Structure 1
Amino acid sequence: MAAGGGSVSLQLPCVFSPKSRQYLAVCAQDGRLRIWNTDSKTLHQEYVPSAHLSATCTCIHWGPCRTVKEGPQRKKRKSEAGQLEEKADLLAMGTAAGTVLIYSTAKGALHCTLDGGHSGGVNCVHWHPEDSLLYSGSDDTNIVEWDLQTGKTRSKWKADRAAVTSLCVSPDGKLLLSAGQTIKMWDLDTKEVYRKFTGHSTAVTTLRFATTRPPDTSGLYFLSGAAHDRLLSVWQIREDGKDKNSVVSFTLTDEPQHIDLVTSKSKEEAVRLAVVCKDGQLHLFEHFLNGPCKKPLSPSCTVQMSDTQDSPMPIPLLAATLGPDSRTVMLAYGNYLQPVMERVDINTAERHVCLSRNIQTALSLSIASTVSKVKTPIVNAKSKVLVPGLPGHQAPVKGTSLSTEKRKKVSDTKEMSIAERLGEIDLQSAASTVKGAPKGMPSLQTDNFAVLLVQGLESSDGNILNKVFQTHKDMVIKKTVAQLPLTAVLPLVEEITRRLQGHPFTAVLMVRWLKAVLMHHTSYLSSLPDLVSKLGVLYHMIESRVKMFHKLTKLHGKLYLLVTQVATTTSSNMVSDVDHTARLVYEEESSDEDEASGDEGLPDEDSDNWEEAVMDDHKEKQIDEDEEDPKSRTDSKANGEEDMENGNESEEE
């Protein structure tokens, strides 16, 4: 009964309580936790987290039914001490802020808050069947074991390279299944990996044990389901360790959203499985787990729901749980804000079953049976009740008092039609673009926008609405929204919600209109009784886009780093060899003797080294000449003696 991870998919947690199935816990788009009584079909309790907008609930899981040992409950219900074991009490909620909230249905308030264990959003929580322990998996790739008696972390370890998206504790409480993209089985005593299973290409959202037998008998089975996957895989934990591949596959029509099963205690007992898919269909399976099965198994029965109108529309199923026999199923369908619960008997002999229900009648009965503190006045049948936001409560659009005399001259002749007003908008836009336009051009005032907007909303004319919504001036938008009658506010919000789901360029303009509506008409919207159902789609859509914005921002940063690295590497490789030729040569001014000699790098005349260098040069030249011409050796010697004498004379001087 664990719900799937909230960060993996956009499905909302919806879980039945264990054993008696007396309660249905739902976390809706508005961030509130609602607990419905399945017997009376009424709202049992409602809890609003203090920071539900910034830390939405991502997963919920019912704890084991509390026993007589619990002191506070036994003191409150001494007469019901025998029935206490059959009632669920504690409910664990994981949040996007990394905390785990423990809610008590007996107290009707928050029992405790577990924080400090995770640095990322919590994707899954699961209770230990016997001890007062709770396990949670998070985006920070860690699993935390919580001690509920102290409210502190008992153990924490890294489970995967990616986020931990699903958890499940074995019925005997000795093994723990965890999964991101790889399924791991942990020994809870040593916190070491017992087995690994690979077979899903996406994040695993569902893990459930299908049998209660010990793992050393080759009779322990569990099943897994992943995001964007239309198969449920069944794995066998064999004694010889040869359990790398799944042994059975169940085919679905869409991604599994809610799973309930009746475990098998022996080979002669079949596993019964109820799977609600993301497309709103229910699939029922019944299979004997006795080894591998090569062919994927189709559901024995598929259940769909539709309304009773002339053109039937499908009603999505939210959750389902199996009854004591194979025919009885408890269904929850409709909207998350107010689901309809019904216990039905299904003819499983038929492959496809379609149930027709009038959901409006079921909702009205559910609302009428809800206990409310508000006293309803007795109203005569002939009288007409006007409620804000409903047709019949009209208020005229008041125009501005500016330039009334000029506009009276125009209105005296006849009232302009919608086509003429649209023509005026075109004329005004054309006049604003043409230079030197005459001052007498007709201009459309702000109150005309309000009139056109009301007419477009009442007639659902897309042409009129497109003309009005194309304005980019914030002041015009604010004045138009401020002059709207109250009856047009809710249709305007619905039209804005519809257009926000369209093209991104249209959504940019619609955000300005939505901001203006919330600034001027928040007090009126808060007085509507059905505001939650009206704005639930808008809230859920904005929240999903904000979640995607954070992921896109991270992806943009990573891509920017990669592109910058590639550009830097490319530019460094394109640098050519350094050109060693001098760009500028500086020559010192030399005397005439230096220019005549042509030796620029020689030392000054006063240096003794200079004379020795000259003599060495003469000797090298003589050696070269002797090698070339042996006959001229005598001449070179004579010349050398003469040079030496000249050198001596110069030294004496």
Structure 2
Amino acid sequence: MSVAKKHVLGFSSNGGKLFAVIDEQGVLRIWDTETNALKQEFTPGILVSGPCTALTWVTLGAERPKKSRKSQQTQQISTASEKLYIALGTQKGKVVLYSLATGSIERTLSGDGHNGAVTSITYDNDGHLYTVGADSRALAWSLAEERCTGEWSVGPEKPLNIAYLPKSRTLAVASRQIKIYDVDTKELVETCTGHSGEVNAIGSFTCSNNVEYVITTAKMERIISFWKMNKKGRNKASTCTLLMEDVAHSLACEVREDGDLRVASVTRNGNIHIYLLNVDSLSSEKYIKPKVSLQIASDGADTVEPIYALAAHFVHDAQRPHEILFGYGTRSLLQFERYSPNYGEKLNVIVRTDPKKLYTKKQRADQSGSAEALKMKTPVVRKKEVEYNSALPISKKKIQNDVPMEARLENLSIQATKLTDGKLQSQSKTQLLMQALHSQDKTMLKAVLGTNDKKTIQITLERLPLEYVNPLVTELSVLLQGKAANVLCALSWLQILTTTRTSVLMSDDKNDLRNKLGICLGIAEQRMLCITEALQVSGRVKLIINHMKRNSSNHLNDKNVLVVEEDPDDVNTDQVAENDWSDLEGENINTNLVLDDDEMEADDDVAADEEDLVMTQESSEDEDDNDDDDEDEDASDTDASAG
């Protein structure tokens, strides 16, 4: 099972009206969950603080509480005067406060900070921040003094997540094990066995009887573990275990006054699991499955694709007690919605529009609106009536620079880079391939990918940037479906690409790579199935051709006539006279009898008839002789009897 990504995000403390998330580049984005609008986007200075790595919401008063003279009672400031901040931990180990009112960093807490990136940060709602970093230390920060007030070691494992427990004033630090530290004495008070992998998400809740729990999930496990906090014991086992279908990267929990507990987990495959428990009946004897699962799907007409949920939050609403707030999409394009699950079904499928499509439609509408506005406001100007204040002539270079990029690419001539033998220069192959993949020019792609020189292909692919590898695989999969010459060239490119860019292909999106290489594999299998039949046909054709050649070379010349050589002594003089042969001279005469097939057959028939006639005559003569002999014998017998 692969490792799940750690999502740095969080809902605001004012009912989840705002949502903050940090993307892969360390950019902070703040969304309004009620209007689905991106309110602010902040990129911290790389030289000052570095990219953001951790966040937590902080609520501070605009002024200190004052006492009224008449009532002599302390009056707290109203919620309208409270300001929302986001405490950010940075890559360079610093802690800053980002103000939503000004949209900038308002305070930077002083102190040594961490010797590395801040991995997690939490707030105790009493003016103190706690952070852990890659240097295996925990730091305490005072917002009133704007500085670091304490530190202690939490190693040797690198801490990844922390949670503050207000009742016991302890700090839960999670790496693989879960360690509980007293924030006042900085001492380790208890430990839990933890997980086999690194903890990916953490949460905490307090029951009505002031019993505190910490819930965790790890990167390599599909379970959620409950840990009961009572400042006793070492290597404590989990109190309860929840099952999931995939690794989770976000957790949310809520405890009500009647003791009902709701837990929500957002898994890596984009589903939301909701568990309904009771804090008084938590048991470690059996694993608990989710009460209901939410799955979001796109409303596409052709194919139904899943939409990934990013985070979930429980809403406190008396009219809708089971309502949940969740956000779906990507960390750069998000949509938020409140939904009441149907607990009568195990799986609730919610069909929604992909946020990418909504953003594309909105962008097109804005562009069309701006185009219409510009079209209405465009003044009518006649070039002949324009007067130039400057006495300098208009530079032609400026006019040439106004040519769009597409026109410049069309003006590029491929013939200019050819040699006398028609082959492209190997030095220009990479640039031409990049331009062809960028502009999708079929002529340029055919000219570049039509080469079969392995050395040229090797040089071109070694110089090709990484972002062009994925489009190149797409073009090669299309080229493999063409003619045999194109298939041969595409196979050469694909073979060298898989050997030189193996790491890039393996690090790409697996589903996308599987689809593209599946086309190539299918074409190869189809051609392999045709090899046996082609070999059989080829063998039979060769056999027929060889047989025909053998028959044509047997006693036949170019004129397809039969030549027979005979001895002149064996020639019948009568046959020579009948056929009127006059070319007999000398004792050694070479007679060449040249006859057609039909004439030879006729002569054979005549000779056979003559032989039959001669044999018939001889047989009749023999019979006459026999009769005469019989008569003589009879006469002699008669004479003898008479005597």
TM-score, length basis structure 1:
0.58
- Quickly say closer, same or farther: Cα 1:169–1:476, change in 2 above 3 A: closer
Give the aligned partner of residue 141 of structure 1: 136
- Tell me, yes or no, if structure 1 residue 116 matches structure 2 residue 130: no
1:375 deviates by: 6.2
Partners of 2:178 and 2:365 in 1: CA distance: 45
- Tell me, yes or no, if structure 1 residue 320 matches structure 2 residue 312: yes
- Tell me, yes or no, if structure 1 residue 34 matches structure 2 residue 26: no
Tell me which of 271, 277, 281 is aligned to 1:287: 277
Q: Is the CA contact 2:430–2:461 (under 8 Å) kept in the aligned structure 1?
A: no
Partners of 2:102 and 2:504 in 1: CA distance: 47
Give the aligned partner of residue 557 of structure 1: none
Partners of 1:314 and 1:199 in 2: CA distance: 32
- Quickly say closer, same or farther: Cα 1:476–1:503, change in 2 above 3 A: closer
1:116 deviates by: 1.9
User: How well do the aligned residues superpose, as a CA RMSD in angstroms?
Assistant: 4.5
Q: Deviations over 1:461-514 (max 9, x none)?
A: 999876689645589969xx9xxxxxxxx99586279999x968327899xxxx
Q: Is the CA contact 1:261–1:272 (under 8 Å) kept in the aligned structure 2?
A: yes
Partners of 1:124 and 1:476 in 2: CA distance: 41
Tell me which of 299, 303, 308 is aligned to 1:308: 299
Give the aligned partner of residue 557 of structure 2: none
Give the aligned partner of residue 13 of structure 1: 8
Q: Is the CA contact 2:204–2:253 (under 8 Å) kept in the aligned structure 1?
A: no
Name which structure has the greater RCO, CA cutoff 8 Å, separation 6+: 1
- Tell me, yes or no, if structure 1 residue 160 matches structure 2 residue 159: no
Query: Structure 2: which 5+ residue stretches go unaligned?
Result: 66-76, 377-401, 476-493, 510-643
Give the aligned partner of residue 423 of structure 2: 443
Give aligned-pair identity as a percent.
21
- Quickly say closer, same or farther: Cα 1:136–1:242, change in 2 above 3 A: closer
Partners of 1:62 and 1:126 in 2: CA distance: 8
Alignment of 1:88-237 (within 5 A): 89-114=84-109, 116-130=112-126, 132-172=127-167, 174-212=169-207, 219-237=211-229
Give the aligned partner of residue 551 of structure 2: none
Question: Tell me, what secondary structure is at the counterpart of 1:210?
Answer: strand
- Tell me, yes or no, if structure 1 residue 276 matches structure 2 residue 266: yes
Give the aligned partner of residue 412 of structure 2: 398
Which 10-residue stretch deviates more, 109-118 or 152-161? 109-118
1:88 deviates by: 6.0
Q: Is the CA contact 1:256–1:278 (under 8 Å) kept in the aligned structure 2?
A: yes
Q: Deviations over 1:356-393 (max 9, x none)?
A: 112245335776999x9x96652679xxxxxx9x9998
1:272 deviates by: 0.9
Give the aligned partner of residue 554 of structure 1: none
Q: Is the CA contact 2:88–2:96 (under 8 Å) kept in the aligned structure 1?
A: yes
The AA in structure 2 aligned to 1:120 is: G
1:141 deviates by: 0.9
Query: Structure 1: which 5+ residue stretches go unaligned?
Result: 1-7, 72-80, 382-387, 408-439, 482-489, 511-535, 538-653
Q: Which has the higher strand share?
A: 2
Alignment of 1:281-430 (within 5 A): 281-290=271-280, 291-309=282-300, 310-324=302-316, 325-359=320-354, 360-364=356-360, 377-378=372-373, 395-399=409-413
Give the aligned partner of residue 259 of structure 1: 251
Q: Is the CA contact 1:221–1:234 (under 8 Å) kept in the aligned structure 2?
A: yes
- Quickly say closer, same or farther: Cα 1:447–1:352, change in 2 above 3 A: same
Partners of 1:498 and 1:172 in 2: CA distance: 58
Partners of 2:443 and 2:83 in 1: CA distance: 49
Question: Tell me, what secondary structure is at the counterpart of 1:349?
Answer: coil
Q: Is the CA contact 1:147–1:154 (under 8 Å) kept in the aligned structure 2?
A: yes
For this pair of structures, how many residues does the alignment match?
A: 437
Q: Deviations over 1:550-584 (max 9, x none)?
A: xxxxxxxxxxxxxxxxxxxxxxxxxxxxxxxxxxx
1:459 deviates by: 6.2
1:233 deviates by: 0.4
